Structure 1
Amino acid sequence: MPVYTVHAPSPHGTDLRAAEKFAFVRDGFHFWAMIYGPIWLLWHRLWLALIGWVIFFAALQAGLSSLGVGPTSIFFVDIILALLMGLEAASLRRWTLSRGKWRQLDVVVADDRETAERRFFERWGQKQRGIVNDQWAVDRGGPPPTRNVPGEAFSNPPPLPSGGIIGLFPEPGGSR
């Protein structure tokens, strides 16, 4: 199953209004990044990665040509670079998002992006409700056991044990 990382713009990371801006980045091999590397980088607006790729590719081509490497070897080097681009495309996208002050919110495992979004927002919505609706602070309807309410068995505090000792430790000088 594919793994998706969920990224949010940093100032609006937990805001419901920013939910439409969340980015889901699939981890793994990207076929179209391998076939059309520069176009894939343009499509995803990875400008620094595109500039770096163009400079590296041009320098490598010029270096291999100046060393007298044959066209077959240069072709195999190009194939290896294309495979590397397909393998590292998601990492380049995550790197660009982190440079843009985006933060990673979660990691989701799902079959496709739609399922990943549904799973993330279900889990994220429960966390948001947990922050707003604190169940521990809700009045359960009964008085706490320290109140003295006549007629209720649990309203009086429990009696102190004989000897005044609370806990499992014996009195000093007592029998074991």
Structure 2
Amino acid sequence: MAIYVVMQPPAGDKAEDASFVRDSFTWLGFLVAPLWLAWHRMWIEAALTFLVMAILSVAGERLGLEGAGSLLSLLVSLYVGFDGQGLRIASLRRRGWREWGVVEAGNLADAETRHALEAGGESEEQPALPRIVPDASQARPPQTGMALGLTHTPGRP
């Protein structure tokens, strides 16, 4: 059984809008790391990965350590292979997506079905959240005068 992290988009709570990220090693992320990152719209990560791999290869060639440069580039690819899905989840969070939960299923279709069944059991109407920021129309008018004694009052030293 595989574990899928279900990410909900910023606008809309429909089950079909969710993105399922499998928590596992990604072979394409290992084999072609910068392209895999770019495919998932992680532009900064893709550019940094390409840059680091290029610098390591060139440095290894210039220093006469071609094998060391290749091995270090392999380490970058291994990192993307092992932690690529975590990078993908972090990228979605930065874009405003929120984590709905985790679904355990044999494949993606089963995970989508389980999510639809579990999300369908929740109430469609969510209770109103309490206001943290007060409404400006209910605010009291600004007070004039001295505040915390930090202003100079004429006639006082």
Q: Deviations over 1:53-73 (max 9, x none)?
A: 12332333344455x251112
**Which residue of structure 2 aligns with residue 87 of structure 1?**
82
CA distance in 1 between partners of 2:42 and 2:61 (Å): 28
Q: Which amino acid aligns with 2:115?
A: F
Decide which structure has the larger Cα Rg and report it.
1
**Which residue of structure 1 aligns with residue 35 of structure 2?**
39
Q: Does 1:117 align with 2:147?
A: no
The verdict on how the C-alpha distance between 1:102 and 1:131 changes in structure 2, with shifts beyond 3 A counting, is closer
In the alignment, structure 1 segments of 5+ residues that lack a partner are 133-176
Deviation at 1:75, TM superposition (A): 1.7
CA distance in 1 between partners of 2:27 and 2:92 (Å): 21
CA RMSD of aligned residues (A): 2.1
**Which residue of structure 2 aligns with residue 58 of structure 1?**
54
Q: Which amino acid aligns with 2:48?
A: G
CA distance in 2 between partners of 1:130 and 1:2 (Å): 31
Q: Deviations over 1:89-125 (max 9, x none)?
A: 1011111101100000010111111111111111111
**Which residue of structure 2 aligns with residue 29 of structure 1?**
25
**Which residue of structure 1 aligns with residue 152 of structure 2?**
none
1:90 partner SS: helix
CA distance in 2 between partners of 1:118 and 1:130 (Å): 22
CA distance in 1 between partners of 2:91 and 2:99 (Å): 12
Query: Alignment length, in residue pairs?
Result: 127
